Structure 1
């Protein structure tokens, strides 16, 4: 048997397979990426409308440079703001949308993405009854009571509770930057 059959032929075959698979993945990505981006945009629009139903539409506020804040939207009719921020939780990044009334208090919050432990941290990240603890709070730095703050932490989920408070505090900082 020659070196071609023993060494080089398997290498060439594997390289061809890799090139074909890479091309197929690239083609699949080019088809699905715009669909995924549009679905994400629609989900975010729906979440904003759910958080601030008094708003007729939203306009993106540009040039807000606050760490961990990705989007700031103002209601075009002056009904308030919806700000998206993130924080590192126990199981990964937690993404939070915070709706503000025109007077600067938190109307409501919603966790839109999270990777917290099911049954423990998910009580913080996935439960509207926990999110209600933030309603009516002013746009100021928030901490859980264990850290000297005013928000009750969920029992057994201190890291997730801290992450949610940090994300909301970042949103509060952005709200104050927009309204200063």
Structure 2
């Protein structure tokens, strides 16, 4: 085997693939750098809209005040309204490690005033159903000062055990945070 043959059959393909990989990596980093701020802004806008949606006394997100003095695990955001009502955001791992997000509203006495769930990371048509309005209606007006037990206090979604478990865990995270702040 000659030196030129070794270059053509072994070294050249490695160099070419390395250069292609480097270029592709740089392009992906560039695209990520451009889209990350847009994604963050969309997430923030969705969260603010959900906060307003679970607090009937609030008509605009500018009325909300961010709260940061909590230690409850699983909580990723808390806001208070002028009337003392609170919205709390919790995240738990659902099916296949996908994050299930819950935002709950509580009035000043701890009664649930609304619940918003993003189960888009769960299996479509099964686990994603834990976010349906019909299913979530069972939580309307629940006592937000007491932890709940799946299939004892409220029903799980049939066939979506892991997503239901994540939902109940996130609801209890919200309840625990409400009690910590009360």
TM-score normalised according to structure 1 size: 0.87
Indicate conservation of the 8 Å contact 1:98/1:106, yes or no: yes
Deviation at 1:123, TM superposition (A): 2.6
Partner secondary structure for residue 95 of structure 2: coil
> In the alignment, which residue of structure 1 is the partner of 2:148?
142
Indicate conservation of the 8 Å contact 2:156/2:164, yes or no: yes
> In the alignment, which residue of structure 1 is the partner of 2:137?
132
Q: What is the aligned counterpart of 2:83 among 78, 81, 86?
A: 78
The count of residues paired between Structure 1 and Structure 2 equals 174
> In the alignment, which residue of structure 2 is the partner of 1:37?
40
Indicate conservation of the 8 Å contact 2:74/2:170, yes or no: yes
Range that drifts further, 156-165 or 31-40: 156-165
Task: Spell out structure 1 runs of 4+ moving beyond 6 A.
Answer: none
Alpha carbons of structure 1 residues 102 and 170: separation in structure 2 relative to 1, 3 Å: same
Deviation at 1:79, TM superposition (A): 4.6
Indicate conservation of the 8 Å contact 2:119/2:128, yes or no: no
CA RMSD in angstroms, aligned pairs only: 1.8
TM-score normalised according to structure 2 size: 0.86
Indicate conservation of the 8 Å contact 2:56/2:113, yes or no: no
Alpha carbons of structure 1 residues 84 and 128: separation in structure 2 relative to 1, 3 Å: same
Structure 1, residues 57-109: CA drift from partner, whole Å, max 9, x if none? 2121113111111111111x125111111223335331111111111111111
Give the gaps of 5 or more residues in structure 1: none
